[in-house]
A and B are shown apart, each in its own frame.
Chain A
Amino acid sequence: MTMAVERWTAQSRAGVGGAALVLGALALAPMLIGPGIVDRLTALFIYVILAAMWNALAGYCGLVSIGQQLFFGLGAYATIRIAFAGVDPFLAMILGAVAVGVLAWPVSLFMLRLKGGEFSIGMWVLASIGQLCVKLDPMIQGETGSSLISLNAYGADLRRNLIYWGALAAMTCLLAALFALLRSREGLAIQAIRDNEEAATSLGVRPERTKRRLFVLAAFGIALAGALWLAQAVSFQPKSYFSVQWTAYMIFMVLVGGIGRFEGAILGAVLFFAVETFFAATGVWYLIGLGATAIVFSLYFPRGLWGAVAARTGVQLLPLGYRATNTET
């Protein structure tokens, strides 16, 4: 028998089919569920975006940033700025995210020269600088902040549903784009860079270009998440949007779900969402619990929940890899 390469299996076809059904059901959900749940699910979609983007950078490319709140905050800020100029707030969200993606290009030119820990800390420093710069804008009034007031043009129910559908569409498109990217030859290059940049280069991979594209995609995705968060919360204070807590949440979701696993980031976001829903009211203890869980996972379950499941059962719902068939000679 000659060897061949397969990518889709019956299991992964079922996985993608199941995902499509879930997304379809979620699209119809606002007709059936109460406004409180619509708001909560919107938050979940935003968490999934954040986790997936951080996982793409850290889990697939080895770019561990603890300054992704930069793009979250800038996404929200750019949306307010553009809406303030008279643009429809929903259009402003998209334009704002695109603007942040464009800005991420020159940022990547110098930040990606930093390696390992320098890159991580450098991104945090940059996020703090970003926050200070935004506070200089008279419209933001320092820490007082501002709001996306033009959203008031939409009625409460319509607005809630539009934001819900917007978040669902953003999550779906970003996950699909990431899935397509990681399945392509670029995905192989991204992972090769993570594992050994020198060897990747000698095999024809161009690390700078590859990392830059991923960095810009992640910046765009996280900026869109920031814009959506703003739409839901309406008010904008630099301190809360540029808070490192956002990156801490991303790290938590990815570590617990399974770093470097496409399904892992999504699972992590769902778990984080559940924990938050049930325990957020306990205040400080909730944060201590989150931190302790992240430490336990990184010490004892470094592959995360999905990593452990996949290692034990070989299950892969979203097929990114390649399998050879007929390997026996």
Chain B
Amino acid sequence: MTATLKAIGIGKRFGALAVLEGIDFDLSSSAAIGIVGPNGAGKSTLMAVLSGALVPSAGRIEMDGRDITELGAAERSGLGVMRTHQIPKPFLGLTVLENVLVGATHAGAAQGEAAYALALGALDTAGMRRLANRPAESLGLLDRKRLELARALATRPKILLLDEIGGGLTDAEAEELVQMIKGLRAEGIGIVWIEHIVHLLMQVVERLICVDAGRIIADGSPAAVMAHPDVVRAYMGGV
């Protein structure tokens, strides 16, 4: 069954500062959207609003027609809206397997053997099987990013929100990541991917949204959006 996440007129203000204004889009679990924009455009705030970490100041978020604007991150994750963090946030005192089990037994709502199967499957998908018993504190950056992804996968997400997961990786590592995300796509998980590294995005998404100063300035096929004059101006500056 396809799930649909809808953002309707989303705005977010911190005091007098408007970080997001009038954001509208919708996404089905059979699609992949990339979100680009210069630094400070409001991308991470958008991610936080979609995942439930922040409550929007205006607008509505719907999942399959149900208004979920008031639901916190924990409740949304149970409905299948799952995010990864730009800076990985592993549970350092737990092993890799235990990190993933947190997701499987909570948002994933699985118990006992079912939870183990879910967690082990997520570790396999993320290429972390060999590291299952390692303490999370011993992992390097790439493995921490993989763990972030594995934990999210173990929750059986319908829509996965990826926040700059490609940053700081070598080309080969990034390529591996792209293949992994393509695999998730093929399994019917909807992807919203915020990324600075545009050529990575282009390999996965069929739709691109460009955000600048808290507004959507272009939305469409990746090639069309990258050629859009407003997008060129936002990135390159000029008149």
B-binding residues in A (CB < 8 A): 3-5, 185, 188-189, 191-192, 194-196, 198-206, 260, 321-324, 327-329
Contacts and interface: CB of A to CB of B under 8 A. Distances in A.
Interface stretch (B26-34, B104-112, B184-192, B218-226): B104-112
Interface in B98-127: 98-99, 101-103, 105-109, 111, 115-116, 119-120, 123-124
Contacts, number: 114
B93 A327 contact: no
Contact of A327 (B74, B89, B111, B129): B129
Given A3-B129, A204-B103, A195 B91 contact: yes
Contact of B133 (A192, A204, A205, A323): A323
B4 interface: no
Contacts of B106: 185, 188-189, 203-205
Given A3-B129, A4-B116, A199-B85, A324 B97 contact: yes
A188 B97 contact: no
B78 interface: yes
A202 B77 contact: yes
Nearest to B137: A195
A329 B151 contact: no
B83 A202 contact: yes
A329 B92 contact: no
A191 B103 contact: no
14 contacts: A3-B124, A5-B116, A5-B119, A185-B101, A188-B105, A189-B106, A195-B90, A196-B89, A202-B74, A204-B78, A204-B109, A322-B116, A323-B95, A327-B129
Contacts of B93: 191, 194-195, 260
Task: Determine which residue in A185, A198, A203, A322 has the highest number of CB atoms from chain B within 10 A of its CB, and name it.
Answer: A203
Contacts of B3: none
Contact of B107 (A194, A203, A322): A203
A196 B90 CA distance: 7
A200 B74 CA distance: 8
B53 A200 contact: no
A264 to B, nearest CB: 13
Nearest to B113: A5
Interface in B127-142: 129-133
B116 A195 contact: no
Contact of A199 (B91, B98, B111, B116): B91
Contact of B77 (A191, A196, A204, A321): A204
Contacts of B120: 3-5, 324
Contacts of A322: 95, 97-98, 101, 116
A329 B97 CA distance: 16
B89 to A, nearest CB: 4
B124 to A, nearest CB: 8
Among all A-B residue pairs, the 8 with the closest Cβ atoms? A204-B107, A204-B106, A324-B132, A199-B89, A195-B91, A185-B105, A5-B116, A204-B77
B73 A188 contact: no
Contacts of B74: 201-202, 204-206
B94 interface: yes
A195 B74 CA distance: 16
A203 B102 contact: yes
A196 B93 CA distance: 10
